Amino acid sequence: VNRLALVVALVLSGCGGSSNSLCSGVQSPCVSFGPAATEAAIQTGFAAAQSGTTLVFAAGTFKFTNELTVTTTGITIQGAGMDKTILDFSTQTAGSEGILSMSSGFTIRDITVENTKGNGIKVVGATNVSYQRTHVLWTDPDNTTHGPYAVYPVQCTNVLVEDSVIEGASDAGIYVGQSEQIVVRRNESKNNVAGIEIENSHFADVYSNNAHDNTGGILVFALPGLQIHDNHDVRVHDNMIVNNNTDNFAAVGDIVGIVPRGTGTFVMAAANVEVFGNTYQDNKTVNFAIINYGDSGSSWTDSQYYPFPTKIYVHDNMFMGGGDAPDASMMQPSIGGLLAISLPMFPGNRVGDLVWDGIVDSNRMGMSAGNPMDICIGSNGSATFQNLHFDNIDQNKGFVGADSNVTPYQCTLPSVAPVSFPGLMM
């Protein structure tokens, strides 16, 4: 059987292309998998694919027991459309991802990947990575069984995630980590713990996404102890960040496990972040928060890590509702729990739309004319502002030092440049 599969795959991968209909119009070399292709044939095709090959799947459902691993440059995985071609990993018994690529020039498009046992589609250490019109989801009603990351490029350069639908990840739906030159646009990310996460990355443009019904919508932050120590130059604009009130279902111990349900966006330990043109609606803990890593209650030993947010510019966003029912379910002390008990002290019994933890790096004291961390709040319609003064907490009453005086932070910062890289269509 194996020998037969090999022969079939050799015929398919051929000595210069295929003439079957699935490959028609596809640049050679092309390898195709018809609706009855077995896992062995598909695995053989992946193993034999030469550089630059497009691997085309017919419409249909393809079941896997093992992950698909890409180790050749320039591979494109192409289906017949989201929910038309389904790579089904519900019977997977080996491999930590559904698809793993370690090679540059990786593209996946027009396909659905579902019920991977671990992560969905992970790409490590590659340049030029595209996820286009890709649907990644988990369907088990017990969402704690879902894999952590759906779209998972890490240590990559020139990353594009667009027009995709991501749902159900038990950590982050779209997770871009330790990468640079990143565009995440026009995706729908829902029912994950984190909808979109930009972590320890540089030069990211996150726009026109719809992040809804997650625990947290769009998160921008840096963690200590990694090979890339910081997160900077991020634009988050023209997104819908709505109703992210799903109970946190991440495993305890995961950093997103401490995100309170009802979080629109938080920016933590990041620099040069511009947030504009977004709609924040009905995120019940807080629509938008700027915090330092210390708020997480964790300690760190990474001497190259800077835990504070600096140069954060938030302007021209629209806010509707939210902040009215902070998540107090998390273990104490938690930001959600503190916000919940603070509500009676807050104007209108709700958390401000734009919240800063108010913690100033002592080394920056006195800089920037009373705004040493360069937190700039521009015009945001009727949005309310709150400085939580996180250094003044009463365990019974919450943020007793909080104030709503936005005046020191009414300023502008230079715009963060849009991201572009070769091959990116605007």
Partner 1 sequence: MRFLPLLLLVGCGGSGEKIPYQNLSEYHLLTPSGGAVSYADGVVPYDLNTPLFSDYALKSRAVKLPMGMAAAYDPDNVFQFPVGTIVMKTFSFAPDERDPTTSARLYETRLLIRQKDMSWLGLPYVWNDAQTEAVLTPAGGMPTIDFISPGGDSEEAHYLIPTEGQCKECHDATGTFDVLGPRARELNRDFDYGGGTVENQLTHWANAGILTGAPDPSAAPVLPVFDDPSTGSVTDRARAWLEGNCAHCHNPTGLARTTGLFLKVSETEPSQYGICKTPVAAGPGTGGFTYDIVPGDPDHSILVFRIESTMPGIMMPQIGRSVVHKEGVQLIRDWISSLVGGCP
Binding site for partner 1 (CB under 8 A): 2-3, 5-8, 10-11, 14-15, 39-41, 43-44, 46-48, 65-71, 92-96, 100, 102, 116-119, 124-125, 144-145, 147-149, 152, 154-155, 170-171, 175, 177-178, 223, 225-227, 250-255, 257, 298-299, 301
| Closest to partner 1 by CB, 79 or 224 | 224
How far is the C-alpha of 155 from the C-alpha of 180, rounded, in Å?
8
| Closest to partner 1 by CB, 131 or 280 | 131
How far is the C-alpha of 215 from the C-alpha of 50, rounded, in Å?
42
| Closest to partner 1 by CB, 301 or 379 | 301
* CB of residue 125 to partner 1, shortest distance in Å: 7
- Asked if 193 contacts 170 with a C-beta cutoff of 8 angstroms, the reply is yes
* CB of residue 151 to partner 1, shortest distance in Å: 13
| Closest to partner 1 by CB, 158 or 170 | 170
Angle at 389 between CA 383 and CA 395, to 5 degrees: 115
| Closest to partner 1 by CB, 248 or 386 | 248
| Closest to partner 1 by CB, 156 or 314 | 156
Whether cis (ω within 30° of 0) applies to the bond prior to 333 is: yes
* CB of residue 249 to partner 1, shortest distance in Å: 10
Helix locations, 316-363, DSSP H: 335-342
| Closest to partner 1 by CB, 39 or 163 | 39
Residues 6+ apart with CB under 8 A from 25: none
How many DSSP H helices and E strands does the chain contain? 3, 31
C-alpha torsion sign, points 216, 270, 158, 96? negative
Strands, DSSP E only, in 169-309?
172-177, 180-185, 188-190, 194-199, 202-207, 210-212, 216-221, 232-237, 240-242, 263-268, 271-276, 279-281, 286-291
* CB of residue 155 to partner 1, shortest distance in Å: 6
| Closest to partner 1 by CB, 175 or 319 | 175
| Closest to partner 1 by CB, 90 or 404 | 90
How far is the C-alpha of 241 from the C-alpha of 217, rounded, in Å?
6
* CB of residue 262 to partner 1, shortest distance in Å: 22
* CB of residue 159 to partner 1, shortest distance in Å: 14
- Asked if 307 contacts 301 with a C-beta cutoff of 8 angstroms, the reply is no
How far is the C-alpha of 14 from the C-alpha of 30, rounded, in Å?
9
Per-residue CA distances from 366 to 106, 242, 298, 358, 360 (Å): 48, 37, 27, 14, 10
Residue 11: Cβ-neighbour burial (10 angstroms; 0-12, 13-18, 19+): exposed
* CB of residue 167 to partner 1, shortest distance in Å: 16
* CB of residue 306 to partner 1, shortest distance in Å: 16
Exposure b/e, 263-280, CB count within 10 A at least 16 = b: bbbbbbbbbbbbbbbbbb
How far is the C-alpha of 113 from the C-alpha of 120, rounded, in Å?
7
* CB of residue 36 to partner 1, shortest distance in Å: 16
C-alpha torsion sign, points 93, 96, 98, 100? negative
Count Cβ atoms below 10 Å from residue 97 Cβ, excluding itself.
24
| Closest to partner 1 by CB, 102 or 343 | 102
* CB of residue 203 to partner 1, shortest distance in Å: 18
